[in-house]
Structure 1
Amino acid sequence: MENRSYVSDILVLEELGHYESFADAVFYTLLFAYIALLITNFGVLVIIIREKSLHQPMYLLFCNLTVNDILGNTVILPQLLFDMVAKNRLISYNACVSQIFFTHTFASASHTILIIMAIDRYVAICNPLRYNSIMTAKAVAVLTVSAWSFVIVLVGVLVGLTTRLSRCRSLIPNFYCDNASLFKLSCEDVSINNIYGLFYTVVLFSSSMGTVAVTYIRIGITCWTKKNAELNSKAIQTCTSHLVLYLILLLSGFIIIIMHRFPEDRFLRKLMAIIFLVIPAHLNPIIYGLQTKHLRLKILQIFKRKIFPFKLSYLVIKLLNANGIVM
């Protein structure tokens, strides 16, 4: 019975695993987190698009990250919220494959986007006089297309190797579809899937960590040798936000990988998966918005003009100044 192909196109997703008494709290927390995520990311995206002064490579590259965060969370969270309300954990095979493709694209693109942002920071700090001639609109477009194309090829092969397999089971051991959970439904030999999965992970993380390490080492050397106070201030101001975002992404990714090695603790693994989705996507616009001077000032100007009454906006900006947030 175990070796028979399972021909049904309907798969069953595992429950999130929360206690029934906390069901409402979990649902509304995730709903609020998703809405807040959309507001903050779309807000930053709209500000960058509308403000011509922000049409600079650094901000245009950051738009990729906000779009990616919206995409990744929209693929998973609405489906999870619907399943919690409807008590229906069924998903079609084609929808499952699509979810796998987009979730892995989201996770991988987070790395490649931060790679091209690191390259941009390297050029800005180490070659400031040539920055405008190097980071042209064409260069930004090429870097963006390269980042997404690299990910699509890697993920396309990953998903293609899984879809070739027949299935003898129907229960996805996760609350959303991921590649490992789907190919484990097969009773065929999945060695090639495991080998390519390892190759995929090593290539992605080594290229990501290697590029970021090299660029920041070069930036550090440049700041150390030139001993220019203005250059050092610019490096700290523009690189800190990028580095914090990258470290959060790296830590989240490593936690997910480690938790996959402990399949018996399923609830904790699922909780970590949600944290990996939600927390970085919330922190990205906040960290980048507050740490990057020009973007921060534009956000505060919009709050002053359109959202807060004059006296309240004055008090908020004064409070931010007192805490050293506005420079």
Structure 2
Amino acid sequence: MFAITAARIDETNPLSGLEAGERPEPAPPEGWATVQVKAAALNHHDLWSLRGVGLPEERLPMILGCDAAGLDEEGNEVVVHGVIGDPDAGGGDETRDPRRSLLSEVYPGTLAEKVAVPRRNLVAKPAELSFEEAACLPTAWLTAYRMLFARAGLEPGSAVLVQGAGGGVSSALIRMAAAAGHRVYATSRDDGKRDRAMRLGAYSAVAPGDRLPEKVDVVFDSVGEATWRHSLRSLRPGGRIVTCGATSGDAPSAELNRMFFLQLSVVGSTMGGRDELRRLAEFCARTGVRPEIDRVLPLDRAEEGFAAMEQGELFGKIVFQV
């Protein structure tokens, strides 16, 4: 079968390790299913894998990708949950299993004609969603869904800040938070991305570091070091930061004096469980909220999509048709 693989690890030039070509079809063990992939979405995780983060050389070559929608062995339309873990080890949440992995870390990923996953990882795709839209949900949108609805502790009509508008998680947060009735502020260095954030439903979009018209209840931050100071100083007393990543570095000053004096809190969030993916799909189907898709490419043009992500030339998700 045709697939996109990480063949080599290169921290400084990750795309040099990207290869397209034939790979063996999956041979699923008992309790697993094979999915015929119709669409797969690209994530920053795939670039980090090419840099060797979470993917050691001894596992190469590895088929990349952790998001997909397609057909199961009975022809049912499904969305693939990419977290491979034991829900019982995490108190009912596989993302808390310390031995969990994502597809493409230990097991071959979704940038291929077929992928094998545990049967419990399959969620019915609502008919209202296209395969391309559904393929955007399992990583970026699921991460945003958990941050917004499970970790933020927001009441209706709250004010929130989304740092770094443009990425998959950020665009999902803007769209879902606006749909839920929150007043959404967003930041971006790019004028065009700020305009697009407004079209997604942001109340206001500003340059990184700019003072907001008001203090917010929650900041959603996946950037880390570059935005941390602004995130802390944008919060109301008692507010919180919900973080799911640190793409610019993970060693900012904690500003502990500010945190304890204003009673601020920091909440970590990682991915989401299978049941949350099911609820997210239903949320999209019932509300009409849809993922922002930057572009759709055939799988054999995957390198073009990887290059756009590496250079930051995207707004929303890059999706590959298989």
TM-score normalised by structure 2 residue count: 0.25
Larger RCO of the pair (alpha carbons < 8 Å, separation 6+): 1
TM-score normalised by structure 1 residue count: 0.25
Q: Which structure dedicates a bigger proportion of its chain to strand?
A: 2
Q: Pick the structure with greater CA Rg.
A: 1
Q: Which structure dedicates a bigger proportion of its chain to helix?
A: 1
